Amino acid sequence: MSEPVITCKDLVCGYGENAVILEDVNLEIHRGEILALLGGSGCGKSTLLKTMVGLLPPISGEIRLLGHDVYSLSSTERRQVLKRTGMLFQYGALFGSMTNMDNIALPLRQHTNLPEPVIQEAVRQRLGLVGIKGLEHRLPADVSGGQRKRVALARASILDPEIVFCDEPSAGLDPIVAAGLDQTLRRFQRLFGMSMIIVTHELESIKILADRVVMLADGVVQAIGTVDELSESPIEAVYNFFHRIPTDYAEEGETVLESLEVARPT
């Protein structure tokens, strides 16, 4: 089997020694695989993603991205490695004052010497591939939420990366639009053979997309496996997610709400 595209070894990540979010992360992501990262709000999914993409140095342990320890590379070498990856941020992160064309063209203008007409043609083609042909001259604010995610996907994939990281790609979309986006992500992966790391809470998305699932809870990886394997897991956090059992946090909230209802004069 080829070398994993990402390896985490005894990884501890977070925001300094006093703000450890995840410990003991041991994980390999294979070439061409779609891996879903699951876990409750605040469990550290985005933190792990930021650590993987070179934005947040690990507190300890090792992370190798495409065979490199990105945190020990010079900034030029790091750029070379990161250029082989694409990121779809949780909150879109498109530049609001730039047209969709300019947003998507940005990585090509930054990392290649392609002539402008070639860049513009590549952007138009990519817009067609993500299913929003003809929207190149609009601003991100002037398209729908689902279309904006597709613009972000076009930008994240324009350099034909070997790995695409997606932080909650379908958050805030209605189920039909979300399912359409999932199909596009799957088609992209088949077409280009890239690996994808996708953070999502949507069970339906996970079933369509994920080859394997990593479940995070209580500061550690609770389980790694296929959807079928995890849906039979006896581990409480995993079982609760796959059987849609509310978490303690939700129960706590319910209790507060109930006490408020009792206290409210009728």
> Cβ closer to ligand ATP: 123 or 215?
215
Cβ proximity of 222 and 238 under 8 Å? yes
* Distance of closest approach, residue 164 Cβ to ligand ATP, in angstroms: 17
> Cβ closer to ligand ATP: 47 or 103?
47
CB-based contacts of 25, cutoff 8 Å, min separation 6: 8, 10, 11, 12, 13, 48, 61, 220, 221
The closest alpha carbon to 188, from 238, 154, 217, belongs to 154
b/e map 130-165, b = 16+ CB within 10 Å: bbbeebbebebeebeebbbbbbbbbbbbbbebbbbb
User: Tokens 């897991």 sit at which residue?
Assistant: 233
Question: What are the Cα distances from residue 143, in Å, to 71, 88, 146, 148?
Answer: 37, 17, 8, 6
> Cβ closer to Mg ion: 44 or 146?
44
* Distance of closest approach, residue 203 Cβ to Mg ion, in angstroms: 17
CB-based contacts of 201, cutoff 8 Å, min separation 6: 38, 168, 171
Cβ proximity of 47 and 21 under 8 Å? yes
* Distance of closest approach, residue 16 Cβ to ligand ATP, in angstroms: 8
Q: Considering CB distances under 5 to 8 angstroms, the limit depending on partner class, which of ligand ATP, Mg ion, none binds residue 95?
A: none
Q: Considering CB distances under 5 to 8 angstroms, the limit depending on partner class, which of Mg ion, ligand ATP, none binds residue 47?
A: ligand ATP
Extended strands (E) in 41-121: 60-65, 85-88
> Cβ closer to ligand ATP: 46 or 112?
46
Footprint on this chain of ligand ATP (rule: CB under 6 A): 15, 19, 21, 39, 41-47, 90
> Cβ closer to ligand ATP: 47 or 184?
47
Taking CB under 5 A as the binding criterion, the range among 38-46, 53-61, 203-211, 257-265 that sits at the site for Mg ion is 38-46
* Distance of closest approach, residue 24 Cβ to ligand ATP, in angstroms: 16
Taking CB under 5 A as the binding criterion, the range among 23-31, 43-51, 127-135, 215-223 that sits at the site for Mg ion is 43-51
* Distance of closest approach, residue 15 Cβ to ligand ATP, in angstroms: 4
Q: How many residues bind Mg ion (CB under 5 A)?
A: 1
Return d(Cα 6, Cα 9) in angstroms, integer.
Answer: 10
Cβ proximity of 170 and 13 under 8 Å? no
* Distance of closest approach, residue 63 Cβ to ligand ATP, in angstroms: 15
* Distance of closest approach, residue 94 Cβ to ligand ATP, in angstroms: 18
The closest alpha carbon to 48, from 217, 171, 211, 201, belongs to 217
Taking CB under 5 A as the binding criterion, the range among 40-48, 74-82, 125-133, 188-196 that sits at the site for Mg ion is 40-48
In the set 7, 46, 231, 247, which binds Mg ion (CB under 5 A)? 46
Structure tokens at 66: 């495409």
